[in-house]
Amino acid sequence: MRIFDPHIHMSSRTTDDYRAMRDAGVRALVEPAFWLGQPRTNVGSFLDYFDALLGWEPYRAAEHGITHHCALALNPKEANDPRCVPVLAELDRYLRKDSVVAVGEIGYDSMTPAEDEALAAQLQLAVDHELPALVHTPHRDKVAGVARTIDVVRESALPTDRVLLDHLNETTVAAAKDSGCWLGFSVYPDTKMDETRMVRLLREYGPEKVLVNSAADWGNSDPLKTRKVGEAMLADGFSDDEVDLVLWRNPVAFYALSGRLDLGERPERDDYAGNVLRRGAPADS
């Protein structure tokens, strides 16, 4: 089973996770820029984070045989902090970088006027840079949040078939599918979507344009949820080809809209900016 996790925050995860993901079949992933839990107090904090998503984290992923791309943006939550909003002016130069395959994650958290502005501005950045957009839908007030998100996307110059609406569930999938957007589902351990519910949704709505992710981060989450959905699909009678469509070909097709997805082998490197992952000489030498 080859797996592409289209939404996972690896900077919050351990090397054990990387190893387990590789063993489970994960070969590629996209890490969207997000909220770090600890609020940022200045724009420089975003820029160092963006640089880590472009440099250090791909190096760490490559050490485990996983191809790393990223999506960059001002996240919905911090769009409400005036100390953070000026990062929008810096995004123009960051969105030009080779391994940036989308603008994201953008969208709504509490649906404030500041979030409206940041969302519209970043949908336009996606248009300007010919990138697709990864749009987070709110965890509270979901139905209204998705309806409003779709309205804002329709008012933007970005076609809906270049938008991935993420964190969908039973209450929002029909509206999202009607909109023509790609459909993202985050599968979490205790809350929200689990693999059984996911399989039921795939039965009802089909696997076309559906992407499944672990959205694993610093909270209670599981980076192997993609694999667990694949196994649940097989147990329910889906074919290997349908599993491959959901776990590999759909995410590849969506991020290939950037024209920048490169799934070739990364050259092995000894260090990144003079920093190495290995600690001293291997035990057997």
Contacts to Zn ion by CB under 5 A: 34, 215
Q: Shortest gap between Cβ of 136 and Zn ion (angstroms)?
A: 6
Nearer to Zn ion, 166 or 238 (CB): 166
Taking CA atoms, 73 is separated from 1, 181, 235, in Å, by 31, 19, 38
Q: What share of the chain is helix, strand, coil (3-state, %, to 5)?
A: 45, 15, 40
Q: Shortest gap between Cβ of 241 and Zn ion (angstroms)?
A: 28
CB atoms within 10 A of CB 265: 9
Q: Looking at beta carbons, which residue is closest to Zn ion?
A: 34
Nearer to Zn ion, 35 or 94 (CB): 35
Q: Shortest gap between Cβ of 76 and Zn ion (angstroms)?
A: 10
Nearer to Zn ion, 34 or 185 (CB): 34
Tokens 């770090």 belong to which residue? 36
Q: Shortest gap between Cβ of 137 and Zn ion (angstroms)?
A: 11
Q: Shortest gap between Cβ of 221 and Zn ion (angstroms)?
A: 9
Euclidean distance between CA atoms 88 and 86, whole angstroms: 5
- Give yes or no for a contact between 228 and 261, defined as CB atoms under 8 angstroms apart: no
Strands 26-32, 133-136: pairing kind:
unpaired
Q: To the nearest 10°, the Cα dihedral for 29, 70, 272, 279?
A: -40
- Give yes or no for a contact between 166 and 213, defined as CB atoms under 8 angstroms apart: yes
- In DSSP terms, which residues pair with 70 in a beta bridge? 31, 100
The strand ranges marked E within 209-279 are 210-213
Q: Shortest gap between Cβ of 28 and Zn ion (angstroms)?
A: 17
- Give yes or no for a contact between 217 and 17, defined as CB atoms under 8 angstroms apart: no
Nearer to Zn ion, 6 or 207 (CB): 6
Nearer to Zn ion, 34 or 59 (CB): 34
SS3 state of residue 238: coil
Nearer to Zn ion, 133 or 243 (CB): 133
Q: Shortest gap between Cβ of 235 and Zn ion (angstroms)?
A: 27
- Give yes or no for a contact between 190 and 218, defined as CB atoms under 8 angstroms apart: no
Q: Which two tokens stand for residue 117?
A: 């502005």
Q: Shortest gap between Cβ of 58 and Zn ion (angstroms)?
A: 18
Nearer to Zn ion, 34 or 49 (CB): 34
Nearer to Zn ion, 73 or 131 (CB): 73
CA angle 256, 231, 136 (to 5 degrees): 45
